[in-house]
Amino acid sequence: MSDCKFCEGSGTVECFFDGPSVSGFLTKAKCPECNGAGVVDAEYFQRKERGKDLRKDRVSRGESLFDCAQRLGISTEKLSSMECGRLSE
């Protein structure tokens, strides 16, 4: 495990909250990257970077998520998860 770079290990991030009945204000929210834990497994960010590359390659080929998943013989959900770094290859 290593400190989450997104919230710098605090587990919370500042975000701007704006709703229909309230005016916008800055609030602390649970970090979406580590889910409030402040730590992530060491490979998380590497996986995320790989996923970003994956998506960039696909987009540069003009391929849709669906077409790419079909070509690879995997589900679109799985490919989407891989591109988001939630799943290892």
Where on the chain is the footprint of Zn ion (CB under 5 A)? 4, 6-7, 31, 33-34
Contact 31/3 with Cβ under 8 angstroms?
no
| β-bridge partners, 66 | none
- Give the nearer residue to Zn ion in terms of CB position, either 27 or 64: 27
To Zn ion, the closest distance from the beta carbon of 27 in angstroms equals: 16
Q: What is the C-alpha to C-alpha distance for residues 78 and 61, in angstroms, rounded to an integer?
A: 19
- Chain centroid to Cα 46, Å, comes to 12
Whichever of 40 and 82 has its CB closer to Zn ion, that residue is 40
Question: Considering beta carbons, is residue 7 or 79 the nearer one to Zn ion?
Answer: 7
Residue 54 Cβ vs Zn ion, minimum distance, rounded to whole Å: 23
Locate 58 and state its tokens. Answer: 């696909």
